[in-house]
Amino acid sequence: KELPPMQSFYQGWLFISAFNNPNILHAGAEGSKVSPSAAPERLPFCRVTEEDLAFFRKILPGRTIVDPDLVEPSNVDWLKSVRGSSEVLLRPQTTEEVSQILSYCNSRNLAVNPQGGNTGLVGGSVPVYDELILSTSLMNKILNFDSISGVLTCQAGCVLENLSFYLEERDYIMPLDLGAKGSCQIGGNVATNAGGLRLLRYGSLHGTVLGLELVLADGQVLDCLSTLRKDNTGYDLKQLFIGSEGTLGVITAVSILCPRKPKSVNVVFLGCETFEQLLKTFQLCKGMLGEILSAFEFLDSECMRLLNTHLKLPNPISDCPFYIVIETSGSDPTHDAQKLHNFLEEAMTSSLVSDGTVATEEAKIKALWSLRERVTEALTHDGFTHKYDISLPVERIYQLVTDMRKHLGNQAKSVVGYGHVGDGNLHLNVTSPSKDPALLAAIEPFVYEWTASCRGSISAEHGLGLKKRNYIYYSKQSQAVALMGNIKAMLDPKGILNPYKTLPDNLKQ
């Protein structure tokens, strides 16, 4: 079978909000031309009937939610930038229940929006129209932990921070750490291939995830929940679902390799006068800190201004154009402290950094990390935010911010850059007092063309979701995208799983 034909995305949209926010995107009037980041016309899925609700209530007693006030929060993304119109929220607790739901929805041609913690930034976690919302929030059990191998097996709805607390009590940690850790769920992390603050040290989820259990569109349960670090028998199917954003299957359980909890953690906050000095500091850092280096993050002075203004977070050092957060994690406090001392001495002597502070106590470590982790929160208070998650050669990572400021002039309120230097991942954010179509037209496709000219990626770790799906060709060749479409058609012939997301509206064959 073939996928249902995708409709043109040149449809009218109406900006409304249940939160009195004029910037939330919601399906509405027809006839106007809109951005490729808007959604296409609703595909011919069936609408939910009373008979459908009766079936769901039978298999999910008390967990089939139709109260509009209870469903509403799941219709709106964390940024309050996209709003769906689903009327049904399903809350399964087991893989078998997910299987029954998808088998039924596939037979009835009902579209399904899988949802974890709903912390995504590209509109991939909420409905576009009236898709059923399948929440994994009640699938929050830890199934097993092997204290010898460090392999954790859990259901997909486990909150990342709760997993971290569980592991720390057993002298282990999660291999990923995100600013949204208090809300995001491990299933959603895997489905979006989330990166985060520890990727420099522990690598991506493509390496740390050992196994997955998931349910395909027709309800078939695919058990690839291996806990083995080595398994070279046939195709590694789990890799196909890591980063697929819920479009190929619903992840129900994860096994993940967890590192030992470090006995010694230090955080350094440094200031640099130029980005060239920041890059030289990174090179020096890698050479002198070596195996204990666990994070190297940066933010610019505009980020610091927003943190000061909107969140009242003080700058712990003197004002600088650029700031660095460095974390070391090791097993010997004396050894680590000496290596850090030698690095800082060399960095100061070489005039690579102009000021800095070191934290070894947990409270101060958290305070310094908050300056990096809460930038996204500060941006939400600065106005309407256009967010771009770009992967670039490390030496070009900040040039995009500089060029964007020149390109926009005084059209934007703020243009800020921060991110993961060690991963070549820039978070570029542009704010304005309110939604401004002229500003968006100035940003896009400029930002994507600039990225493509450097052979970068338009999505380093956030995914494509609804907002970025039609820009995929800036990063992927048409043959690769066509093959993705073929895989989608094979695994989900009716296209019921997270429609309108990830793949472009018009696949080039």
CA 478/CA 211 separation, integer angstroms: 30
Instruction: Please write the tens of the pLDDT for every residue from 126-156.
Output: 999 999 999 999 999 999 999 999 999 999 9
Contact 458, 444 (CB under 8 A): no
Contact 136, 158 (CB under 8 A): no
Both tokens of 312, joined, read 């009242």
CA 224/CA 214 separation, integer angstroms: 8
Instruction: Please write the tens of the pLDDT for every residue from 322-344.
Output: 999 999 999 999 999 999 999 99
pTM: 0.88
Domains of the chain: 142-257 (3.30.465.10), 264-454 (3.30.70.2190)
Residue 14 in this model has a pLDDT that exceeds 60: no
Query: Cα dihedral sign for 115, 119, 121, 127?
Result: positive
Contact 420, 467 (CB under 8 A): no
- Percent of the chain scoring above 90 in pLDDT: 86
Residue 19 in this model has a pLDDT that exceeds 70: no
pLDDT of residue 36: 66
Contact 260, 151 (CB under 8 A): no
pLDDT of residue 413: 96
